[in-house]
Structures are given as C-alpha cells and as structure tokens.
Chain A
Amino acid sequence: MPEFQQTAFILLSIMILASAFCVVLFRNLIYSALSMIGCFLGVAGIFILLHAELVAAAQVLIYVGAISVLVIFAIMLTGHRTGDLRLFFHKQAWVAVPICAVAGIALMVVMATATYNATEDAQNPSDDAIASLLFNEYAFPFELVSLALLVAIVGAVILAMKEKNQ
C-alpha cells in the first residue's frame, strides 16, 4: 500500500508542522502545550510508518504520557491566573526566523546528500532483536543513561525537599 503510506506521511507531516507552528505562535501557554502533544503524536505516526512500533509506543508513553502531562501540570499549578500573555519567543521571532531557515537548509542538505545503507533487517526490527542489542552490546550506555536519570531524580528530590530543622 505505497499510496496509502504516501498519503499518511503527507497528512502526518502537515499535522507535525501545523502543531509545531501552533506551539510557537499561540498566546496561551496551555494551548501551546496541547499543540505540542499533537506534534508528538504526529512523530509517533511517522515512526509507525517506518515500522518502528516500539519507538512509536515509547514516544507516546514518554512524550505524551509523561513530559506533556508534566508541562501542563506545571503550567496549571503555577500560572493559570495570568491568562493570555505575550510570550518571550514572540519578541524574538525576527531573530529566530533566519537562524531556523539556515539550520533547516543545512539539515535538508545533509539528509539529501547522505548515503543510507540500512539492511532489510534494520528496517523491520523485532522487539527481541532490539532487546538483545540493548541489553548485550549496548548494555553499558543503557545503564549509564539510567544512572544519569537516577542522579536527576535524586537531585530533584533534594531541591524540592523541605528543610527539616529551621
């Protein structure tokens, strides 16, 4: 079904681009955060089109389920009374546009000129293959990432902890 995939890819790309623009352009922080979820879901859809279901599920689980919810939670907890406000990135739009354009063109050039030598195996990875790679060959970097996350959690707890003797 190549036509279906083509259509799906175009629709998902429109969804990602539109919601990414919404994130930057909305005046209301909550609307920005919700558009961000649309962007993440679009990226998850692209992963599914690429037969990377595990990555797509992780994308939804972590970015939609944890990070976005945390962002919305923080906005609601702190600034829900401030209402609509001109966000700082609106003022910097004119500086941001040329920089983003240059970065985008550079990325496109790199992607267009790169050679892809992915095998058939790598295009359709089973979760068994991913697991055995992750826990054998790449076990050390995996554990390192876990350690970094643990340190971050402990740091956050210490920052948020009340001083007992004051």
Chain B
Amino acid sequence: MSGVTDFLTSFLPGFLLALAVIAASAVVFPFLMRRVWGFMCDRLGPNRVGPQGLLQPFADGLKLFVKEDVTPSQAHKYLFLIAPAVALITPMLTQVVIPFSDNYTIANLNIGLIYLVAVGAFSVLGILIAGWASNNKYSLVGGLRAAAQMISYEIPLILNIVLVALLTGSLSLNMIVGAQETVWFGVVQPLAFIIYIIAGVAELNRTPFDLPEAESELVSGYNTEYGGMRFAFFAALIEWGNVTVWAMAGSTLFLGGWRGPLFNSPLWLAVKVGIITLVIIWFFSTFPRLQIDQLMSFAWKVLIPLSLLNVAVTSGFILLWPENFFLPTAIFSWSSIALFIILFPSVIRKVLLRNRLRLLATRKMTTVISGTGKGGIRS
C-alpha cells in the first residue's frame, strides 16, 4: 500500500509536470516559430484560425490526430512503431534534474550534470532507429547524418558543461543555480555560453545545422515515412520538446535558472527558455544551411579546440586563485570573444581565398586567379 502512495506522491507529479512542459512547448513553439518566421520574412504567417491565428496549433493537432496511421509495408514494423517513443525518452527524462524553483526539482541527483548528458544519448538512438526502420534511402541518410552530427557536437557541448562544473565545484544542478546567486555563469563565461548555444543548435538538428532533415535534398530526412500522429510526435513533441529541455538546461547552467531580477520564480525559467527559443527561431529565419563537411570541420577544428582551451585556461585560473577566479575567467572569456570578433573578418577572408585558390588549382583554371585581385574573393 505504501508503495502505491510513494508512487503517487513522488513519481506521478513529476511525470505529469514533464509531460505538461513538453505538451505546452509542442503547442506554443511551432506556432511561435511560424509567426516570428513570417514576421522576419515580412509576411503574415498563420493568422486565420482564431484571434491572431492563436488556435492554429490546435487545428494542426486535430488534423494530425484524425489522420490515418500508415505503416509502410516494407518498413520494419516494430522498430518503426517504437522509434518515436524512444526519441521521446530524452525530453521527458532530462527534466528530472532541472530545478524548477527553490524547493522543487523532480529528483535532486548529486550527479545531475552527468545524468543530463547520459539521458541526451537516447535522442540520437530514436532518430537512428526511425531512419533505419523506415527502409527508405532518404530516411536512412537522414538518420546517419543525424548520428554523425549529434556525436560530433556532443563533445563541445559536454566540454562546456564541464566548464560549469569547474566554476561551481559540483555536479548537482541545484548547487549550480545556488552558485549563480551573485552573477550568472553566462556573464562569467560568455564564450562557453555561446559555444553551448551553437553546439546545442547542431545537436538538436535546427537550422543552420538541419542536415538530417534537409527538405531540398532528403524530403524530410529520418521522419519521411511517418505520417499523422507519429509525424506530430517527431515534428512537434520531440523536436520542440528537445529544444525546450535544452533551453531549460542552458538557462539553468548559464542564466541562473529560476533566479532572476526582483523575484525568484519558475516564471523566470520560462522567460529564459522563451528567449533562447526565440534566438533559435531567429537563426532559423536568417541562416542558410551548411554543408556536411563544413559542419564537421566546424565542430572538430573550431568548437572543440576552443572549448578545450577554455577548459584548460579556466582550470588554470581556478588553481591559481582558488578563492576568486570569476574575475580572471570573465576577463579571459570576454577578451577572447572580442579578439574573435576583431580577427574574424580577416581570417575568414584568408580562408575563403585559400579555398578558392585550391578549387581553382584542382580545376586547372590557374589563369583565373589573377582576376580575383589582391583583396580576396569577389563577392
């Protein structure tokens, strides 16, 4: 009997909360994305259903809900059916360690950060299974791309989570929020925060890193064969659920979680998640998609060395000034960002020029080089 009561008091509220957060994000964020995207493209976006189109997500949901549930005859039936469920594990379980307020975390684990990273592993599994079980070349290529991309970008993501653990001296997310009482880690370590955002966008397969579901080449990638409610699972619940929990983790690690100016409340967490999601939508409507080689070399040649350098320097500061290492860390982080912004135009011009020269050399069109002139490539 006590087991049932324990279950009801400890497991059920957390489960319902996690489900509610994902359902809310699946309703709010796709609609928000379409409206903001429309605004940024100087068009209207969906505004017909209800006031300002606010009932659009419900109309979409109803439509997807009543659609026929199709399983392709050549698909691997059982894997095809469980793939969305496996992919939903990550957004559901990640929320377990996120502190919602001063005294409410679904489960306050002392290895919260490692748990966060370990649970993140299931999302790539679900996508791989979906891509393979569909028995479709587009799906398979999408799944393989997703796996390669997510494994590569997990490394800079983890390295920046390590940085937060270094700054706090603890792996518990409650302790991490507690350590940000005076100053947010996003202010102390803006470099880590920026890399966290970039690597996260890639990890979540959002534009400009959305190669696994590149519409123009792969139809819809790993979820090509899915329709109706299963498609809604992938397109709304899992993708936006993943975005939401990643933004929740990001605001907990770098923006102080539920702490905020004036008052402390879970509301601040929601506001921060909304702001990070708006940044992703902004990326979505402004950046073109990368190529797979650019994507990979960006992770391995830029993000990982930069994160490693950041971890090494920050650890050095912590060893040098064990009491007061926030200031030198902040100086290092901000100045490296400033250096990057100053040097970026000239470096990128040189890299582009070199690439162009190499391309021309392989095409045996060396005579054209003189036409490019001294100032780099012609735009």
Contacts and interface: CB of A to CB of B under 8 A. Distances in A.
B132 A30 contact: yes
A57 B122 contact: no
Contact of A76 (B3, B114, B117, B128): B128
B280 to A, nearest CB: 23
A53 B147 contact: no
A1 to B, nearest CB: 8
A60 B121 contact: yes
B125 A57 contact: no
User: How would you classify the secondary structure of chain B's contact residues: helix, strand, loop or mixed?
Assistant: helix
A127 B111 contact: yes
B144 interface: yes
Interface string A57-82: 11011001110111011001100100
A60 B118 contact: yes
Given A4-B3, A76-B143, A57 B115 contact: yes
B114 A57 contact: yes
User: How would you classify the secondary structure of chain A's contact residues: helix, strand, loop or mixed?
Assistant: helix
A70 B143 CA distance: 13
Contacts of B110: 53, 126-127
B128 A61 contact: no
Nearest to B125: A69
A15 B341 CA distance: 53
A4 B143 CA distance: 39
B129 interface: yes
A61 B118 contact: yes
Contacts of B154: 65
Nearest to B115: A57
A54 interface: yes
A60 B119 CA distance: 8
A69 B118 contact: no
B214 interface: no
Contact of B117 (A34, A54, A61, A126): A61
**Most chain-B CB neighbours within 10 Å: which of A1, A54, A73, A80?**
A73
Contacts of A61: 114, 117-118, 121
Contact of B122 (A53, A58, A64, A77): A64
A69 B117 contact: no
Contacts, number: 69
A66 B151 contact: yes
A65 B128 contact: no
A43 to B, nearest CB: 13
A23 interface: no
A1 B151 CA distance: 39
A73 B114 contact: no
B120 A80 contact: no
A37 interface: yes
A100 B263 CA distance: 63
Contacts of A76: 128, 131-132, 140, 143-144
Given A53-B109, A57-B114, A61-B118, A69 B147 contact: yes
B359 interface: no
Given A30-B132, A66-B151, A73-B144, A58 B114 contact: yes
Contacts of B299: none
A126 B130 CA distance: 38
Contacts of A30: 76, 79, 132
B125 A37 contact: yes
A146 to B, nearest CB: 14
B360 interface: no
B265 to A, nearest CB: 30
29 contacts: A1-B3, A34-B79, A37-B125, A53-B110, A53-B111, A57-B115, A57-B118, A61-B114, A61-B117, A61-B121, A64-B121, A64-B125, A65-B117, A65-B118, A65-B120, A65-B154, A66-B121, A69-B125, A69-B151, A70-B151, A72-B129, A72-B147, A73-B128, A73-B148, A76-B140, A76-B144, A126-B110, A127-B111, A127-B171
Given A61-B117, A61-B121, A73-B128, 19 more contacts: A4-B3, A54-B111, A57-B111, A60-B118, A60-B119, A60-B121, A64-B122, A65-B120, A65-B121, A65-B154, A69-B124, A70-B151, A73-B144, A76-B132, A76-B143, A80-B132, A126-B110, A127-B110, A127-B171
Interface of B: 3, 76, 79, 109-111, 114-115, 117-122, 124-125, 128-129, 131-132, 140, 143-144, 147-148, 151, 154, 171
Closest 8 CB pairs of A and B: A65-B121, A61-B118, A60-B118, A57-B114, A57-B118, A73-B147, A76-B132, A64-B121
